[in-house]
Every structure is written in C-alpha cells, then in structure tokens.
C-alpha cells in the first residue's frame, strides 16, 4: 500500500522536527543595577542606519550611536566631583566621544574638558547637565567563544555603557542589552512564531510539534548556538506544514515513524557533541546502536507503505552504523 502525498509530507515534517530534540536550555543571567539613577535618556540615534532608535533598551553590535542624555544632579557639594564614563569596550567614532550640550552648567570647566577620553569630570553642582555620547559598539562584543568553527554568542547584559560615579558610588547609568544582528534575527523570528501560536494560526494537530521546535530553538539560543537556533526556527514555515493526513489513524502511524526518526537524530547529534569532548564513548555507542536497531525495525514496517521512504530510512541506518565505527 502506497502512502498519499500529504501523508508522506507529514512524515517528512516529523523527521525535521526530530532535529531539534537534542538540547537542554541554559538561560543567561541578567545583572541587576542600583535603583538610584541620575541619568535620564533624551534620545538614542543610530548613525549607521540614520534612524532614531525606538527601543533604546537594546543596541546592535557593529552600529554607531549618538546617545543624548541628562545628568540630573540632586544636590551640590562644593568640594566634590562626579565622573561620567563610557564603557572602555566601546570604540571611538570620529574625533571625540563627548559633546556638552549645556555649556552653561556651573559644574562644567571647559579648560579641563577632554572629549577624547572615555571618562570626563564635573564639579558636583545641583542642576541638569546635558551631554551627547557618540561611540561604536564593537562588532564581536557578543562573541564568547568558538568551538571547532562553531561561534558561541550571547546577548550581553549588565554593561553600563554610560555611567555616573559620585565618590565610590554609581549614581547613574544607561545599561542597554548588547546584541548581534543574528541575535536580533532570532528574537524577531521567535516573536513572530509565538504570535502565530497565540493567535491560533497553527493547526491544532501541529501545535505540539510547533511548540517542541520553539522550545528546542530556545535551548540552542540559551547555549549561545544562535545560528543553529535560527535554522531550527526556520523549520516553522508554511511549506513544512502540509494538510494533516487522513484518516486519523495515519497520523498515529506517522507519529511513530517520527519518534523512531528522533532517536536516530539524537544519536547523530550525540556523536558530534561527544566527539568534541572525547568522553562518554560507551554512552554514545549505545545510543547509536539503539537508534540503528529501531530504524531497522521501522524499515520493515515502512516497506509495506512506501518503498522510497523505506530506502531513505535504510540509508540513515547505514550512516549511523558507519558513524559508530
């Protein structure tokens, strides 16, 4: 008995879903900040795109920004100074970091002001100092490592891109999350897919698989495997969601095929991960053997339905056994 084209497409989709079932989540920690803040943002302008930034809580690696802000000094101390700084990891754009937009502020001394330094000092006089800081976020600031050619990157939290220090206390700060273009792409894709689920635009038969793919993509993202997380979410497009097979018994049959396929993919990914660390070899071999045996049994069942799909399973089984050797 041959499978219908819809049923075959559904089976292929289940095998694709299995790709993402191998990782556990690792959520990055967010660093807290003091509740006191002398800094009030006025505007953030992206010089690279030529646009005003609507979400100033996040800056993009590689872009240049013009950040205008007020420093609201609540009281005067004639013998004290405060220091306004840009994080040293930020890069100079043009000839200077700083521009004083309120030169009449009493605590500003033009003779000691050096706008090329990352830190500038002012006398602590009650009132409002308005400044603009221009800088470039380093392109690789979100990179935290490279494993055998695989880039590991994460959003960078807790960086006081701009800070105000009075004595030994940080009294003001601007601490956006720093992200790469890939991280931003992942966030946009994840939000888009979440909206599809919440608006019930995904067929209810596919909802569990859809949620599983999203959960595993989030796991990859949490481990810093952003490119792989994007690839996982890209499985969730309309072409991978054919009309569900009919009758319903077909759906149960192909769910079983998908489970066996998942075992095979788990074994393949285990091989890659374990080979990097050269440990847990026996566990890896056991996983591969188990998956290969499952697929061998599956092939016999599949041959009664679709010979071509049975041949594909046989090819995957052979690859697993070769990987073990």
What does the pLDDT look like over 50-104, one tens digit per residue? 999 999 999 999 999 999 999 999 999 989 999 999 999 999 998 999 999 999 9
Please, which pLDDT band fits residue 151 given cuts at 50, 70 and 90? confident
- Select the more confidently predicted residue: 52 or 260: 52
- Select the more confidently predicted residue: 239 or 9: 239
pLDDT, mean of residues 263-273: 44
Report the chain's mean pLDDT, rounded to a whole number.
77
310 has pLDDT over 80: no
Residue 209's pLDDT is what? 78
Give, in order, the Cα–Cα distances in Å from 82 to each of 74, 104, 148, 171: 12, 17, 46, 9
Which of 35-44, 141-150, 177-186, 272-281 bottoms out in mean pLDDT, i.e. has the lowest?
Answer: 272-281
Q: What pTM does this model have?
A: 0.67
Residue 267's pLDDT is what? 44
291 has pLDDT over 70: no
Which of 143-157, 174-188, 201-215, 284-298 bottoms out in mean pLDDT, i.e. has the lowest?
Answer: 284-298
Does the N-terminal peptide bond of residue 247 adopt cis geometry, omega within 30 degrees of 0?
yes
pLDDT in tens, 153-191: 999 999 999 999 999 999 999 999 999 999 999 999 999
* Residues sharing a CB contact under 8 Å with residue 86, sequence separation 6 or more, in sequence order: 97, 118, 119, 133, 135, 161, 162
CB 168 within 8 A of CB 155: no
269 has pLDDT over 80: no
Residue 297's pLDDT is what? 63
Level-2 CATH architecture, domain 39-179 = Sandwich (2.60)
**Beta strands per DSSP E along 47-149:** 51-52, 58-60, 64-73, 81-86, 91-92, 98-100, 119-123, 127-136, 143-147
Residue 125's pLDDT is what? 97
Among 162, 72, 65, CA closest to 119: 162
pLDDT, mean of residues 242-256: 52
pLDDT in tens, 106-122: 999 999 999 999 999 99
274 has pLDDT over 70: no
30 has pLDDT over 80: no
Stretch(es) of the chain classified as CATH 2.60.40 = 39-179
28 has pLDDT over 60: no
Residue 313's pLDDT is what? 61
224 has pLDDT over 60: yes
Residue 257's pLDDT is what? 46
CB 155 within 8 A of CB 36: no
199 has pLDDT over 60: yes
Kindly give the pairing relationship between strand 51-52 and strand 39-46. Answer: antiparallel
| Burial tier of 95 (Cβ tally within 10 Å: 0-12, 13-18, 19+) | exposed
């Amino acid at each position: 008995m041959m499978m219908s084209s819809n049923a075959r497409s559904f089976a292929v989709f289940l095998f694709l879903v299995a790709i993402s079932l191998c990782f556990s989540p690792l959520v990055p920690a967010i660093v807290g900040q003091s509740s006191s803040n002398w800094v009030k943002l006025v505007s953030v302008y992206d010089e690279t795109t030529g646009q005003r930034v609507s979400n100033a809580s996040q800056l993009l690696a590689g872009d240049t920004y013009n950040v205008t802000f007020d420093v609201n000094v609540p009281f005067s101390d004639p013998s004290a100074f405060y220091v306004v700084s840009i994080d040293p990891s930020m890069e100079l754009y043009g000839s200077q970091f700083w521009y004083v937009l309120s030169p009449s502020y009493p605590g500003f001394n033009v003779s000691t002001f050096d706008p090329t330094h990352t830190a500038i000092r002012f006398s602590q006089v009650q009132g409002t100092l308005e400044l603009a800081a221009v800088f470039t976020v380093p392109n690789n600031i979100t990179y935290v490592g490279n494993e055998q050619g695989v880039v590991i990157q994460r959003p960078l939290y807790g960086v006081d891109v701009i800070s105000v220090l009075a004595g030994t206390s940080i009294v003001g700060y601007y601490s956006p999350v720093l992200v790469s273009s890939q991280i931003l792409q992942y966030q946009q894709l994840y939000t888009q897919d979440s909206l599809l689920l919440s608006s019930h635009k995904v067929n209810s038969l596919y909802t569990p698989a859809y949620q599983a793919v999203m959960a595993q993509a989030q796991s990859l993202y949490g481990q810093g495997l952003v490119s792989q997380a994007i690839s996982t979410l890209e499985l969730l497009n309309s072409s991978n969601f054919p009309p569900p097979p009919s009758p319903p018994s077909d759906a149960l049959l192909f769910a079983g095929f998908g489970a066996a396929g998942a075992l095979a993919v788990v074994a393949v990914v285990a091989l890659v991960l374990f080979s990097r660390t050269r440990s847990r070899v026996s566990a890896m071999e056991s996983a591969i053997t188990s998956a290969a045996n499952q697929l061998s049994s599956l092939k016999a069942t599949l041959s009664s339905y679709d010979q071509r799909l049975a041949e594909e399973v046989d090819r995957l089984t052979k690859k697993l056994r070769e990987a073990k050797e």
